[in-house]
């Protein structure tokens, strides 16, 4: 199935241990084994993956090992996910350095998508100028992505500067970056994902299909509260083909079973 599955469902989602000492080492990581995740994603029927920058760059000095891991399971690398604070001038170049490294390495392994989260919230509250700082930083990421030959998309995320539609409206006019709406995060941020996709359909390049329960827990597609058939009607009305990935991190169940449940729902419920 030409829908990617994110490896972060295997293990906990954490920050790289280098982050405490070096901003340029502040990668995302999922603690589950990469080999297990990729094997079980393939077993469920998916043929592409998305992966965190920290997991991917663990293979920086041995790219052949990662390529063999993909090839042995018959899957390709579609996307790498990274994030940054973006609003602190002094460290921005450090953050862009690691994003550039992740984008270039991922592109060399065949990836076409760079997904960006982030936009820090300050301890004493958000400053309105931070939205424009975030937008300027995202434009710098667009430059990095273009140099690497990948497409950069911004992912609104819980706990960041952009959790909901109102906050997205404060950033989008000031940056040329594409949008990666994550349906679960938008719901938890208090927004209707259908309304977000309708408003920004012309900006969407990459989509995170992610379900959430009424109790606010992420879950396999079709197990939560999001109306995916209605959502897909909107996304399929775009004048171009969009690219999709699944996330199911934070679910209490077996990640292999979650991937199988989602694959079945995509095929039988959504017509992929």
Give the CATH fold of the 4-267 domain: TIM Barrel (3.20.20)
186-242 tens-digit pLDDT: 999 999 999 999 999 999 999 999 999 999 999 999 999 999 999 999 999 999 999
Which residues are bridge partners to 244 per DSSP?
207
| Residue closest to 114 by CA, chosen among 125, 126, 104, 124 | 104
Structure-token match 């990095």, residue found = 144
Which residues are bridge partners to 79 per DSSP?
50, 113
Angle between helices 92-108 and 129-148 (to 10 degrees): 30
pLDDT mean over 121-132: 96
Average pLDDT of the residues of the chain:
97
Residue 125 binned pLDDT confidence (cut-offs 50, 70, 90): very high
Q: Give all strands (DSSP E) within 22-86, no chain letters.
A: 28-30, 48-52, 76-84
Asked if the model's pLDDT at residue 84 lies above 80, the reply is yes
Dihedral over Cα of 184, 217, 272, 42: its sign = positive
Determine the pLDDT at residue 18.
84
6-55 tens-digit pLDDT: 999 999 999 898 888 899 999 999 999 999 999 999 999 999 999 999 99
DSSP 8-class letter at 224: S
Residue 1 binned pLDDT confidence (cut-offs 50, 70, 90): confident
Please give the order of strands across the beta sheet that includes 113-118: 178-179, 151-154, 113-118, 76-84, 48-52, 4-6, 243-246, 206-209
Determine the pLDDT at residue 210.
98
Task: Name every residue whose Cβ is closer than 8 Å to that of residue 239 and which is 6 or more positions away in sequence.
Answer: none
């Amino acid at each position: 199935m030409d829908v990617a599955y994110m490896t972060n469902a295997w293990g906990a989602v954490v920050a790289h241990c280098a982050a405490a000492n070096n901003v340029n080492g502040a990668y995302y990581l999922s603690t589950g084994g990469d080999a297990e995740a990729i094997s079980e994603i393939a077993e469920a029927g998916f043929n592409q993956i998305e992966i965190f920058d920290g997991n991917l760059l663990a293979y920086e000095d041995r790219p052949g090992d990662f390529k063999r891991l993909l090839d042995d399971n018959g899957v390709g690398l579609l996307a790498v996910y990274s994030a940054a604070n973006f609003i602190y001038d002094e460290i921005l170049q450090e953050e862009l350095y690691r994003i550039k490294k992740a984008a270039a390495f991922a592109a060399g392994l065949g990836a076409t998508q760079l997904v960006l989260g982030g936009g820090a919230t300050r301890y004493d509250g958000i400053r309105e100028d931070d939205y424009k700082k975030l937008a300027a930083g995202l434009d710098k990421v667009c430059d990095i992505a273009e140099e690497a030959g990948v497409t950069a998309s911004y992912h609104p995320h819980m706990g960041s500067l952009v959790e909901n539609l109102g906050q997205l409206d404060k950033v989008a006019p000031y940056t040329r970056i594409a949008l990666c709406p994550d349906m679960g995060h938008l719901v938890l941020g208090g927004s209707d994902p259908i309304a977000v996709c309708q408003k920004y359909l012309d900006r969407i390049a990459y989509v995170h299909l992610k379900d959430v329960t009424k109790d606010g827990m992420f879950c396999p597609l079709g197990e939560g509260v999001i109306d995916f058939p209605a959502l897909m009607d909107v996304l399929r009305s775009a004048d171009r083909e969009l690219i999709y990935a699944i996330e199911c991190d934070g679910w209490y169940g077996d990640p292999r079973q979650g991937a199988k449940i989602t694959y079945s729902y995509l095929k039988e419920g959504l017509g992929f």
